[in-house]
Amino acid sequence: MSSDQEQQQHITAVSAPGKVLLAGGYLVLDRAYTGLVFGLSARINIVAQEIHTSPGVHLTEIVVESPQFLEAQWRYGYHLADEDGGIKVTQLQIGSHIVANPFVETTLNYALTYIARISKHSPTHVVKSARLTILADNDYYSQPTTSSSSSSADAATTHSSSSSTTPPAATINALRGSRFARFPVKLTEAHKTGLGSSAALVTSLTAALLTHYLDPTLFSLSSPRGRQVLHNLAQAAHCAAQGKVGSGFDVAAAVYGSSLYRRFSPSVLSSVPEPGARGFATALERVVSDSDDTNKIWDTQIEKDAVSLPQGVGLRMCDVDCGSQTVGMVKQVLAWRAREPVASKELWDELQRRNEALALVLKEGRTDDLRGAVAAVRELVRKMGAASGVPIEPESQTALLDALEGVEGVYGGVVPGAGGYDAVAVLCRDDVETAELIKEFVAGWSKKVGGKVSLLEVKGEMKGVRTEELGIYKGWIQ
Ligand SMILES: Nc1ncnc2c1ncn2[C@@H]1O[C@H](COP(=O)(O)OP(=O)(O)O)[C@@H](O)[C@H]1O
Ligand SMILES: C[C@@](O)(CCOP(=O)(O)OP(=O)(O)O)CC(=O)O
């Protein structure tokens, strides 16, 4: 597509990174503590473009699609709700069935309401028909066991998808080994690797909508104010779609990239009613703009300067597929805190000190101290697990992490986020030789203990949300 065409058709693209919480799992749910979060090189991209309807047709339709998956298209009409309820979208049926995507739908309700509210034009004038194409980097989902590129290409030739941007077979062949794989399954059947797809999706979709619909004088991704508005809006939408208030570190990483994160008070979002309910639009604008007369509403702290990786050190992730998963881990840890307030506070205070010490070792580039700093954190994480009865660093992960330390070039690793059986994060020399040694090691480990451990391509990265050149989406956008 020529740049003239791009201009005429008004196409914009943005991406937001996934996350890994290297230290501070559970603690970060409480404002008294912080989390050490890294953005990842795996991004969720959104390409936004106008849809031209035939002259005389006034139907407004927002089409969101994920052409990497089968039957992944969601179409919405919208109306302006009474009593200041904002813009409410309604999913339109395609074919005989309707599959909801709550994260997409909630993001549209939140972002379009805010856009209509701050735009100088009437909502029907500003919110025109648009197509939003989602492209997720491959590491968000486990690849099919056969060669990913060929199986995805075959799938594209044998299945028909309702997605209108599904590339034809010839184009798919050209996409072999490309950045965005085509998965031969529906999104609901895809196996997630836990990099925070919903937070990156909500953030990049919000950023794409704001950039697409608003004049640059009202919203710009490149300004600190723009990123603050994006953060507030994406946090509000993500919390609503999730149906619970997590710490929000994943949305913060999607917007700002790697940082030391202190969460917002849960009360910040409690004043916002449901989309469509009376007063939603005013309450949302107030909370997103962060203006309550003279007081600021948000008390989030995001310190970019406190976090970095030493020169030559990389942060890598291993996907661990060894069986059992634990539900309700957060609930159980918080129940232990309530049960044993004194002992748990003592442990968390000391763990916070060790997490901060690890952040400092990384920032100051003291690679010789890394192993000790990681070991100190892990010791207390295991203690928290034992005290709360939650497998935060289960024995199988302890064995894997200890053995990984024996691999040349590995400084140490942890169970990230809430912990459990699904993943490990590894700090290691950032070179091809070390990656090869880790791959070899985890292949041997998988054989030895059963299950499947694999090194993902993804790496820790400092940068948050950004605009993208359209060239990287060749073959995927019309
Ligand atoms: N590529 C995608 N296209 C469309 N929606 C997506 C995509 N990836 C994730 N989502 C949305 O995010 C949800 C997954 O969120 P969640 O279960 O919280 O996982 P995660 O831990 O990765 O954030 C999906 O059900 C879907 O609504
Ligand atoms: C327990 C936590 O502090 C960290 C959870 O981190 P994960 O990275 O495990 O999270 P999910 O992607 O939601 O599965 C909860 C929180 O901070 O919201």
Residues recorded for the chain: 478
Evaluate whether residue 48 is within a structural domain: yes
Torsion angle of C-alpha atoms 179, 182, 186, 187, degrees rounded to 10: 0
Query: 26 alpha carbon to ligand 2 midpoint, in Å?
Result: 8
Ligand 1 binding residues, C-beta < 6 A:
66, 101, 103-104, 134, 136, 187, 192, 194, 196-199, 201
8 Å CB contact between 115 and 213 = yes
Mutation pick for ligand 2 pocket among 33, 44, 197, 249 (CB with most ligand atoms within 8 Å): 249
290-308, pLDDT tens digit by residue?
976 667 899 999 999 999 9
- Indicate whether 264 and 184 sit together in one domain: yes
Domain count, the chain: 2
HSE-CB of 461 using CA atoms within 13 angstroms:
19
Confidence label for 350 from pLDDT (cuts 50, 70 and 90) = very high
**Torsions phi, psi for 163 (to 5 deg):** -70, 125
- Give first-to-last CA distance, the chain, whole Å: 8
Say yes or no: 61 and 132 in one domain.
yes
Task: Enumerate residues lining ligand 2, CB below 6 A.
Answer: 21, 25-26, 28-29, 194, 196, 246-247, 249, 330, 416-418
CATH of the domain at 12: 3.30.230.10
Distance 190 CA to ligand 1 centre (A): 10
CATH number assigned to the domain comprising residue 322: 3.30.70.890
Task: Looking at 96-185, list the stretches that DSSP marks H as alpha helix, in order from N- to C-terminal side.
Answer: 102-118, 123-126, 148-158, 169-174
CA torsion through residues 249, 251, 256, 257, sign: positive
Q: How far is the CA of 162 from the centre of ligand 2 (A)?
A: 34
Minimum-distance ligand 2 atom for the alpha carbon of 263: 17
**Whether residue 290 sits in one domain with residue 158:** yes
Residue 376 contacts residue 354 (beta carbons within 8 Å):
yes
Least confident of 23-27, 187-191, 250-254, 300-304: 187-191
Residues 339 and 355 both lie in one domain: yes
Same domain, 401 and 449: yes
Q: What tens digit of pLDDT does each residue of 183-217 get? A: 999 999 998 888 999 999 999 999 999 999 999 99
| Predicted ipTM beyond 0.90 | yes
233 Cβ partners below 8 Å, 6+ apart? 110, 111, 114, 206, 210, 284, 288
To the question of pTM greater than 0.90 for the whole model, the response is yes
Q: How far apart are CA 7 and CA 134, in angstroms?
A: 20
- Residues 257 and 382 grouped into a single domain: no
For 190-214, letters b (16+ CB in 10 Å) and e give: beebbbbbbbbbbbbbbbbbbbbbb
Atom 8 of ligand 1: nearest residue by CA position: 197
Give residue 244's pLDDT: 77
Across-strand partners of 90?
77
Residue 87 lies in a domain: yes
Same domain (yes/no): 295, 367: no
Give the integer Cα–Cα distance in Å for 337 and 442: 35
Atom of ligand 2 at shortest range from CA of 249: 17
Same domain? 76 vs 198: yes
For the segment 429-472, what is each residue's pLDDT rounded down to a tens digit? 999 999 999 999 999 999 999 889 999 999 999 999 999 999 99
List, in sequence order, every beta strand (DSSP E) within 379-431: 410-414, 423-429
SS3 for 469? coil
Distance (angstroms) between ligand 1 centre and the Cα of 69 equals 12
Residue owning the nearest CA to atom 17 of ligand 2: 247
- Which ligand 2 atom sits nearest the alpha carbon of residue 246? 18
Residue 94: predicted pLDDT:
74
Burial of 182 (0-12, 13-18, 19+ CB in 10 A): buried
Q: How far is the CA of 27 from the centre of ligand 2 (A)?
A: 10
14 and 107 fall within a common domain: yes
**Residue 450 CB: number of other CB atoms within 10 A?**
10
| Domain extent for 364 | 313-460
What was the pLDDT predicted at 327?
Answer: 66
Least confident window among 238-247, 412-421, 435-444: 238-247
Q: 37 alpha carbon to ligand 1 midpoint, in Å?
A: 20
Smallest-distance ligand from the CA of 193 = 1
One domain, residues 280 and 299: yes
Give a yes or no: residue 478 inside a domain.
no
Give the contacts of 267 (CB within 8 A, at least 6 positions apart).
none
Residue of 37, 261, 326, 330 to test ligand 2 pocket, by largest number of atoms within 8 Å of CB = 330
Q: For residues 249 and 415, give the distance between their C-alpha atoms in angstroms, rounded to a whole number.
A: 16
Residue 310 amino acid letter: P
- Distance between CA 348 and CA 175 in Å, rounded? 48
Task: Examine the domain organization and report whether 273 and 174 are in the same domain.
Answer: yes
**Contacts for 471 with CB less than 8 Å, ≥ 6 apart:** none
Residue of 193, 239, 173 whose CA lies nearest to 40:
193
Atom of ligand 2 minimally distant from the CA of 330: 1
| Residue 150: pLDDT over 80 | no
> Which class for 408: exposed (0-12), middle (13-18), buried (19 or more C-beta within 10 A)?
exposed
Instruction: Give me the DSSP letters along 183-237.
Output: PSSBGGGS-B-SS-HHHHHHHHHHHHHHHHHS-TTT--TTSHHHHHHHHHHHHHH
**Residue 146 pLDDT > 60, yes or no?**
no
- Do residue 295 and residue 317 come from a single domain? no
Q: Which of 91, 103, 141 for a ligand 1 pocket mutation test, highest count of atoms within 8 Å of Cβ?
A: 103
Rounded CA-CA distance 318/459 in Å is 11
Atom number in ligand 2 closest to CA 194: 12
In a domain, 240, yes or no: yes
Domain-located, residue 135: yes
Atom of ligand 1 nearest to the CA of 135: 1
Number of Cβ within 10 Å of residue 447's Cβ equals 10
Distance 105 CA to ligand 1 centre (A): 12
Tokens of 125: 């004038």
Which DSSP symbol is given to 267? G
